[in-house]
Amino acid sequence: MRAVGLLAVALVLLAGVLTAPRPGLTGQSLGVLLALCAVAAGFVGGTVAVVRLSLWRQSPFYLLLIGGSAALIWLQPAGAGILGCYVAAFSGSFRLRPRPGAVVGLCTLAALIIAEVGAISYQSRTDLLIECSGLAAFYAMGWMVRRLREGQDQALRLALELEESHLAKAEALALAERQRLARDMHDVLAHSLSGLVLQLEGARLLAERENAAGDLTAVVDRALHLGRAGLAEARRAIGALRDEELPGPELVPTLVSDFERDAGVPCSLDIDGIGRPLDSVARLTVYRVTQEALTNIRRHAHPDRVSVRLAYEPQGVRLTVEDAEPAGRAQEPSDGDDGASGGYGITGMRERAELLGGHLHASPTGAGFRVELWLPG
């Protein structure tokens, strides 16, 4: 656009030099010379050198361009002064905001009419109307080009914002995936390895006793079972990364029976309501919370009984795991998040619940400890 304007002004200056009266130092020739200088200075200052200045600071340059072009129309009716007016109207509507651009357009139109009516050889009203229509066309063209440029700028900004949003979403997904992997690895390792450690400690103590071969064999068998179970859990975790089938509520009875066998503590299971399908993440959450709660009981508590209740309610699924200590025995924390263990059991369970719009409460009771999970669905 700037090149087109520069070409138009160059034509105005060339025509002004070649058209009579030519530039000079006296009379009308001096007026033509001053008008040409004003057109050149106005164009260079208003549309090239200070395009980012305010209208107030650009107005002297626009006045020079408009005034010089009008003077050329007045002094050289056969010249190309009208092109300078067209350049002023186009530049004002293109480079300025709508209201200042309209002011420049109206000033240019007024200068054109005054110059044509006062010209040395006044043309017909038809010619004046055609020139005014051309001026309006150039003004409208500048306005449309300005709107097109603004639309392109806005589209570019939106594209950049969209790209930033995609990057932020990708980072959030990566963070969520890392957290999920951390929870899964914790659940697998805490459940299997902690039980394995307990069994091996018992085996070590039995090995120090005489005639403990039978008991030692039973403890080693339980440790072997826990090791195999941990390997199976690790395979399930890897399978989850490959979008394979995830464990769910149907394996809760297996967790209960394994706990009862390995811990030697009675553990009851109650399932209320009619079971219904859950999505894969909710299924895994029910399974992992049951697994983590039972693991914490085995590691931190000394109950004489444990109860697990899975209830299918109208608005969701509720899981409750509660242990009961013998009367008079002090209870230890069973959440794995407090104390010196530095675990992340309750944190991981709570994160799983909140990601699905549910909640998890873990707190001591009068006789033990309760973990309660609720998931919508």
| Residue boundaries of the structural domains of the chain | 2-123, 249-377
Q: Are 252 and 287 in contact (CB under 8 A)?
A: yes
Average pLDDT, integer, range 327-350: 54
Residue 333: pLDDT over 50: no
Q: What is the spatial distance between Cα 21 and Cα 29, in angstroms, rounded to a whole number?
A: 6
State the pLDDT at residue 375: 94
Instruction: Copy the structure tokens of residue 194.
Output: 């902690």
Residue 240: pLDDT over 60: no
Residue 372: pLDDT over 90: yes
State the pLDDT at residue 308: 96
State the pLDDT at residue 44: 78
- The domain defined by 249-377 folds into Heat Shock Protein 90 (3.30.565)
pTM above 0.85, yes or no: no
Residue 121: pLDDT over 60: no
Exposure on the CB side of residue 251, measured as CA atoms within 13 A: 18
Residue 212: pLDDT over 80: no
Q: What rounded mean pLDDT belongs to the chain?
A: 79
State the pLDDT at residue 342: 38
Cis peptide bond upstream of 364, omega within 30: no
State the pLDDT at residue 194: 65
Q: What is the spatial distance between Cα 135 and Cα 106, in angstroms, rounded to a whole number?
A: 10
Residues 56-67 as b/e (b if ≥16 CB within 10 A, e otherwise) read eebbebbbbbbb
Average pLDDT, integer, range 305-333: 83
Rg of the chain over Cα atoms, rounded to whole angstroms, equals: 43
Most confident of 232-241, 282-291, 328-337: 282-291
State the pLDDT at residue 334: 43
The least confident of 22-31, 129-138, 224-233 is 224-233
The least confident of 28-37, 186-195, 235-244, 272-281 is 235-244
Residue 234: pLDDT over 50: yes
What confidence tier does 256 reach under pLDDT thresholds 50, 70, 90? very high
Residue 244 dihedral angles phi and psi, to the nearest 5°? -85, 175
